[in-house]
Amino acid sequence: MKLRNAVAFFALLVGAVLAGAAQASETIKIGLIEPMSGPIAAVGRDTLFAFEFWAGKVNERGGVLGGRQLEIVPLDNAMNAEKTTHQLKKAVDLGLRYVSQGVGSNHALNIIGFVNKHNKRNPDKSILYLNHAAVTTAFTNELCSFWHFRFDANVDMKVAALTTQMGLDPEVNKVYMLNQNYAYGRSFQAAARRLLQQRVPEAELVGDELIVPFGKVLDFTPFIAKIKASGADTVLTGNWGPDIHRFVKASMGSGLDVQFYTIYGGLTSSIAGYGGAAKSVNLKQVTEFHENDDVPSTKNLLPLMDEWQATYKQSGYSDRPRWLIEMLAAAMDKAGSDDPVAVGMAMEGLSFDGPLGQVVMRRDDHQMLMPLVVSSLTTQYERPVVYDGKDYGVAFSTDGHVSREDTSLPTTCQMKRPG
Amino acid sequence: MDVLVFSLFNGVLYGMLLFMLASGLTLIFSMMGVLNFAHASLFMLGAYFAYEVSRHVGFWPGLLIAPLAVGVIGAIIERYGLRPVHRLGHVAELLFTFGLAFVIEEVVQMIWGKVPVPYDIPDALKFTAFTWRGLDYSAYRLFMLCISVGIFVALYAFIARTRTGLVIRAALTHPHIVAALGHDVPKVFMWTFGFGCALAGLAGAISGNVLGTEPAMAIQLGPIVFVVIVIGGLGSLGGALIAALFIGVLDNLAISYDLSFYPVLEALGVARDAEGLLSDLVNLTTANIAPVLPYLLLVLILIFRPRGLLGTRDV
Amino acid sequence: MDWLRGLWIWAVAALALGVLPLGFDSGFALTILNQISVLIIFALAYNMLLGQGGMLSFGHAVYFGLAGYATAHFLNAMGSGAIPYVPVSLVPLLSGVVGLSFGVLIGYVSTRRAGTVFAMISLGFAEMATALTLVLIVFFNGEEGIQTDRFVGPEPFGITFGPDIEVYYLIAFWCLASVVAMYALTRTPFGRMCNAVRDNPERIQFIGYNPQRVRWQAFSLSSFFAGLAGGLHAINIEHVGFETVGLAQSGLVLFMVYIGGTRHFVGPILGAILITFMNSVLSDLTEAWFLYLGVVFVLIVMFAEAGLAGLLMMHEPIWKTELGLLRRLAMPYSAAIVATGVTAFGLVGLTEMLYFRSAEVTGRTVLALFGMNVETASAWPWIVCVLVAALGALACRATYPRAAVSWNDAISTVKARLAS
């Protein structure tokens, strides 16, 4: 190592220690429990990027509570239940009062259970769990907890948005459903059965299939043949990972002419998985925003997205991390404290200007209510999907917006608040 | 009838893909008695190599270069990895290849990242070969079928009809006598292993663009290939072919006919609206569990006929 | 006299387990200790198959996980009052019985053969179990798994199992009890029979024993302890998910046992402690942790089939004869260790830089490596690492034979002493 580097490193170290000492009591730490190693580490890494980016924006503005900075503490759970528990204990040891997580409903359930127990046993060290992507509807119904706030739309809301758009789509006449046979896939199936009847009454359900999940199905051709035989014009699926991209790949070159309505078909990893098929498939996704939307409130976000892309070499896929950080900051300022109970109380009913209009944290069940957008994969775009600096030559274009009222569904939650 | 014909045809396609993988594995086993756990990882390497080559010089050169590269890697693995372990017995060899599979997966992630790579079908084969009852069959799938049939024929001819094949077969059963006749047995083993791996590499190169090329593909495909060679009878090429076709067709039939398990349960006196644990079973159909059927078959075969369909000896 | 000495070791172990948590004031450390204790039981149970019985299983986590699920359901049923109350401290026994039942059932069909067939059947059952955890939702609850609460009732002596320290002592107690039981088992005629079946099944048949039966019994007992470990795991984490029955969990225990050493009773214990600790601490430091684990495993399979414990126990006759003999080994051994360290330093540096370069997208090029800030865009760190690794490899070639010679010398001295 060169001497200059050593000196610079030393200076940095001393600076960091001094700054740390000055701010130790001031920074507000948010633990981010995600897979940072293992096969889907890229997802955890991207989430960490997003949290650091948006926390940085708050800090640039002067932080929260009159000058305190936000700090994101990454905690790797390697997509493993034991390690999630380990990291929660570590978070307690580090004195963290806020944790966030989103990848994997199993881990989310684990965290809700842990936080409920921990806060009951240690009321003076309570922890708030901010969920940015785990979508199991039960978390804001029968399993709802004061200590859990969800910033993503749950499965039922996403299905509600998809079916609302399908009701407006004249090409939807015969629908074939194919889902993964596990908790998430089944809750998708149940919600879709119910909502198709309400929102697309004229359409006929010509197939309803469950498959063994997580890449166990290697060849989707027999399913393609069944779909073809059923005469379906629309496929409605909650599949993700290899279960969506092999499905889409198999449909290409088989002459099957259907449109895919999906939740996760637009994830960058899925688009990478489609390969050449991405440019010809008729695939739709539901999200809280996409970069090519014409809505002014989305357009206003683009300068920030440019900055994001310049830093992390990827286009924007979700806006939830921004909501989470910004609303946490707003709730702290509103409560005038960083105490999780006070912040939780302040968070209830809080609203925020999202990319498609106002989003609201519902008081009754801590579910964020939001408008959603259904969009199609296209090769005609202004801003392409970019990931790790690679331009995939596709993007999304809006089919329709679904209002907050249309995506909001009733809850069965009976919230128990502390004190 | 349509459904049956379709399932048979499609099952053959899928089965031949499995066979391409299984052929290399069973060849290695029949020559060396080694069950290569890392075989699917070498298949994955073949797909990634072919992708890398196709990015620079196109698909067709990749079809040649990828298997060769994987074959050389295989030969190196045998020479410097397996051979020292050989004296410790077959379980140690199995463990070695198990660890190796692990290492290869990590290395692939290190080089190519964790998201799938966009390895695509060549433009020259992106047309519809024929249409039957409204469903198109892509030329590429037919191409895969031809390659795999070609491999079977060539392999069979090579082992049964050529002098080298004779030496290989002899080296397996009577290594000392073959060595005494002046043949270099370790070298025969090394090249056999390399050749088996090259076959896996070829399978990867021609199917990576259909299945998707990603780090998890090895772990998803590996166990099913084991099932094929164990059911077919370890060391039997013909058995592997039959088992691969059988599993391919079974998979397709299970999905197409979608039978419910309820009649069986009904006979046992279970009501359709049963509560609790049984409710899962009542709603279960063959399509739901198609990918699990081969494992069930594996367990049954190993219990009732451990030598497999055409195997000449117990595993 | 011999058993008295044995007792002495167990007493020390019990004392150590008793005072160990007093040194820590952190929930995280306690959780790691808990997990290590659970995995010690599991690893020893696994070694009853692999080391003592010669059966390589790719699916032993099935019994661990299924017992975990059963335990979670049991605790939940107790919590809701559906079944009568049983002290939580005794629940692990029930988990063991669950593991035992599955072991008896599946073991009956899978232990007819050893070796490769057994390994393949275990893989088949593992794949089926994993798929079923996702399909049978009522019992397994899919990928979300089962939540449970160990705080279910009036435990005797005012214990609630709320605080981690009480759970620690519960697990430590069962860990020690299982270790003693499994050790005792290796000393019984049955334990010897297992070894004999592993080494020469035909011969066993000639003497009039049924090797299948011995394997089946060993498998069932091993499943009992695996189940016990699974139950403790459920009590410790208060959550059981589908990954507990999966191939990854089975693979991890295989790594632990083999790296620790299958030939010696302490091997799996060593492996469980080392790998669990590394898995918790190293994985936070480096993304390449699994690669290192895999490479170490492959190297152990190739060059040290008896594992780390084997490497240590190679020297047992030497220190038993005369401690002073070890001093002769000190120099050549240190040289070999330094050479290994240097090679590893170079290779780890290269790997870390490669990982960093492949994962980094934000344009950063400076990597914090070995406490230094390394500029990966320049060629120098790469050249240095390659040179260091090459130098280390050369040093290894020079020093390893000398270490081997010194060991041989020491052993021949021992032999000479014994002969005289």
Q: What distance in Å separates the CA atoms of residue B19 and residue A190, rounded to the nearest whole number? A: 39
Q: Which residues of chain B neighbour A228 with C-beta distances below 8 Å? A: 134-135
C76 three-state secondary structure = helix
CB distance A267 to A317 below 8 Å: yes
Task: Supply the ipTM of this predicted assembly.
Answer: 0.87
Chains within contact range of chain B (3+ C-beta pairs < 8 Å): A, C
The model's confidence at residue A262, banded by pLDDT at 50, 70 and 90, is very high
Q: Do A222 and B138 touch (CB under 8 A)?
A: no
Given a cut of 50, whether residue A17 has pLDDT beyond it is no
CB distance C136 to C66 below 8 Å: no
A91 three-state secondary structure = helix
Helix/strand/coil (H/E/C) assignment for every residue in chain B: CHHHHHHHHHHHHHHHHHHHHHHHHHHHHHHHCCCCCCHHHHHHHHHHHHHHHHHHCCHHHHHHHHHHHHHHHHHHHHHHHHHHHHCCCHHHHHHHHHHHHHHHHHHHHHHHCCCCECCCCCHHHCCEEEEECCEEEEHHHHHHHHHHHHHHHHHHHHHHHCHHHHHHHHHHHCHHHHHHCCCCHHHHHHHHHHHHHHHHHHHHHHHHHHHCECCCHHHHHHHHHHHHHHHHCCCCHHHHHHHHHHHHHHHHHHHHHCCECHHHHHHCCCCCCCCCHHHHHHCCEHHHHHHHHHHHHHHHHHHHCCCCCCCCCCC
Lowest mean pLDDT among C81-90, C331-340, C386-395: C81-90
B72 contacts chain A (CB < 8 A): no
The model's confidence at residue B123, banded by pLDDT at 50, 70 and 90, is confident
Q: Which residues of chain C neighbour A81 with C-beta distances below 8 Å? A: 145, 237, 239-241, 243-244
C241's CB contacts (< 8 A; 6+ apart) are: A81, A106, A110, C143, C144, C145, C146
Question: Quick one: pLDDT at residue C3?
Answer: 58
Q: What distance in Å separates the CA atoms of residue B96 and residue B93, rounded to the nearest whole number? A: 5
Q: Which residues of chain B neighbour C289 with C-beta distances below 8 Å? A: none
Q: What distance in Å separates the CA atoms of residue C277 and residue C268, rounded to the nearest whole number? A: 14
Given a cut of 60, whether residue A159 has pLDDT beyond it is yes
Tell me phi and psi for residue C57, to 5 degrees: -110, 135
DSSP state of A390: E
Coarse DSSP helix, strand, coil percentages of chain C, rounded to the nearest 5 percent: 80, 5, 20
Q: Are strands C239-240 and A390-391 parallel, antiparallel or unpaired?
A: unpaired
Question: Quick one: pLDDT at residue C157?
Answer: 67
As a whole number, mean pLDDT of residues B258-264 equals 78
CB distance A191 to A156 below 8 Å: yes
Q: Do A212 and B288 touch (CB under 8 A)?
A: yes
A72 three-state secondary structure = strand
Query: Could you tell me the CA-to-CA distances from A313 to A49, A130, A322 in Å, in that order?
Result: 11, 26, 18
Q: Provide the token pair at B259.
A: 């039978």
Question: Quick one: pLDDT at residue A13?
Answer: 45
To the nearest whole angstrom, how far is the Cα of B277 from the nearest Cα of chain A? Answer: 15
Q: What distance in Å separates the CA atoms of residue B70 and residue C17, rounded to the nearest whole number? A: 50
To the nearest whole angstrom, how far is the Cα of C30 from the nearest Cα of chain A? Answer: 9
Given a cut of 50, whether residue A6 has pLDDT beyond it is no
Q: What distance in Å separates the CA atoms of residue B288 and residue A223, rounded to the nearest whole number? A: 12
To the nearest whole angstrom, how far is the Cα of B139 from the nearest Cα of chain A? Answer: 9
Question: Quick one: pLDDT at residue C7?
Answer: 78
C407's CB contacts (< 8 A; 6+ apart) are: C314, C315, C329
Model confidence pLDDT, tens digit, residues B4-52: 787 788 888 889 888 988 888 888 887 777 889 999 999 999 999 999 9
Lowest mean pLDDT among B89-103, B290-304, C254-268: B290-304
Chain centre distance of CA C172: 16
The model's confidence at residue C67, banded by pLDDT at 50, 70 and 90, is very high
Q: Which residue of C has its CA nearest to B107?
A: C291
Given a cut of 60, whether residue B94 has pLDDT beyond it is yes
Nearest CB to B216; choose among A39, A212, A225: A39
Given a cut of 50, whether residue C403 has pLDDT beyond it is yes
**Helices (H) then strands (E): counts for chain A:** 14, 17
B·C CB contacts under 8 A: 124
Model confidence pLDDT, tens digit, residues B51-82: 999 999 989 999 999 999 999 999 999 999 99
- Comparing A335 with B1, the larger pLDDT belongs to A335
As a whole number, mean pLDDT of residues A232-261 equals 90
Model confidence pLDDT, tens digit, residues A112-154: 989 998 998 888 899 999 999 999 899 999 999 999 999 999 9
The model's confidence at residue C220, banded by pLDDT at 50, 70 and 90, is very high
Question: Quick one: pLDDT at residue C94?
Answer: 94
* Maximum average pLDDT range among A242-251, A343-352, C138-147: A343-352
Question: Quick one: pLDDT at residue C229?
Answer: 96
Chains within contact range of chain C (3+ C-beta pairs < 8 Å): A, B
Query: Could you tell me the CA-to-CA distances from C322 to C315, C331, C409 in Å, in that order?
Result: 11, 17, 14
C220's CB contacts (< 8 A; 6+ apart) are: C100, C103, C104, C107
Model confidence pLDDT, tens digit, residues B194-246: 999 999 999 999 988 888 888 888 888 888 888 898 888 877 788 889 999 99
Count the neighbouring beta carbons within 10 Å of the beta carbon of residue C108.
14
% of chain C at pLDDT higher than 70: 95
Residue corresponding to tokens 């011995």: C214
Chain centre distance of CA C410: 31
To the nearest whole angstrom, how far is the Cα of A330 from the nearest Cα of chain B? Answer: 36
Given a cut of 70, whether residue B255 has pLDDT beyond it is yes
Given a cut of 70, whether residue C25 has pLDDT beyond it is no
Question: Quick one: pLDDT at residue B312?
Answer: 64
Q: b/e per residue, B91-111, with b = 16+ CB within 10 A?
A: bbbbbbbbbbbbbbbbbbbbe
Lowest mean pLDDT among A128-142, A325-339, A400-414, B17-31: B17-31
Q: pTM to 2 decimals?
A: 0.86
* Maximum average pLDDT range among A266-275, C152-161, C318-327: A266-275
Nearest CB to A106; choose among C30, C145, C151: C145
Model confidence pLDDT, tens digit, residues C282-308: 777 777 888 999 999 999 999 888 899
CB distance C91 to C73 below 8 Å: no
Question: Quick one: pLDDT at residue A303?
Answer: 94
Q: Do A105 and C30 touch (CB under 8 A)?
A: no
Q: Do A255 and B131 touch (CB under 8 A)?
A: yes
Given a cut of 80, whether residue C273 has pLDDT beyond it is yes
Question: Quick one: pLDDT at residue B172?
Answer: 62
The model's confidence at residue B177, banded by pLDDT at 50, 70 and 90, is confident
Nearest CB to B90; choose among C115, C121, C303: C115
Model confidence pLDDT, tens digit, residues C249-266: 999 999 999 999 998 999
Q: Provide the token pair at C332.
A: 């050549």
Largest Cα–Cα separation, chain A = 75
Question: Quick one: pLDDT at residue A129?
Answer: 97
Question: Quick one: pLDDT at residue A3?
Answer: 43
C95: closest CA among C115, C74, C78, C77? C74
CB distance A211 to B292 below 8 Å: no
Residue corresponding to tokens 């059952």: C125
In the stretch 128-187 of chain A, residues with CB closer than 8 A to chain B read: 181
Chain centre distance of CA B134: 30
- Comparing A4 with A297, the larger pLDDT belongs to A297
As a whole number, mean pLDDT of residues C327-351 equals 90
Q: Do A249 and B210 touch (CB under 8 A)?
A: yes
Residue corresponding to tokens 């509807």: A137
Tell me phi and psi for residue B241, to 5 degrees: -65, -50
A158's CB contacts (< 8 A; 6+ apart) are: A135, A263, A286, A372
Average pLDDT score over chain C: 87
What secondary structure does DSSP assign to C257-274, as a single string?
HHHH-SSSTHHHHHHHHH
B29 contacts chain C (CB < 8 A): no
Q: Provide the token pair at C316.
A: 């047992």
